[in-house]
Amino acid sequence: MDKEERVIMENLEIVRIWGELAQSSTREKYKTLSTVCSLAAMLLIIATFNENLFPITKYVKILVTILLSLIPLSLWGLLYALYQDEKVARTELEKITEEEMSHKGLMHFLLDIFPYLVAMIFTVVIFLIALLIWLKK
């Protein structure tokens, strides 16, 4: 390998490292957002258990609803980012191997859709909790 090829290989390695860093930082931002929103919503809900300590006003309901709604939104954002990463990786692997990658069987399909099913159930539960907060007098 001559000097020019070595420089090209080093540049490709640098691009790969920066690409991985960008992907992981996107995933971590979504993880952090959902964690912070979960903790904040939990604190507000716990604080409202005692009416004397923290009266449930319209503003408190709005805050809890916003924080609760950000949890599934960040989860869906994380799933979308992971889907995009998987799509790029699959495309690159197909280019390298010159073979089309296919899903193999029912189990692989179920494993692919399982996170989306869990996210859908979680979204419905969060929606119902927010609805119950607003229906409580």
CA dist., res. 28 & res. 20, Å (int): 12
Residues of the chain with pLDDT under 50: none
Question: CA triplet 96, 89, 121: central angle to 5 degrees?
Answer: 155
CA dist., res. 113 & res. 108, Å (int): 9
Q: Of 5, 18, 45, 42, which is closest to residue 133 (Cα–Cα)?
A: 45
Residue 31 token pair: 């993880």
* The total number of structural domains that make up the chain: 1
Q: pLDDT at position 40, please?
A: 73
For 30-55, write each residue's pLDDT tens digit.
677 677 777 777 776 776 677 776 67
- The parent domain of residue 69 ranges over 3-135
Phi, psi of 136 (to 5 degrees): -70, 135
For residues 93 and 49, the answer to whether their CB atoms sit within 8 Å is: no
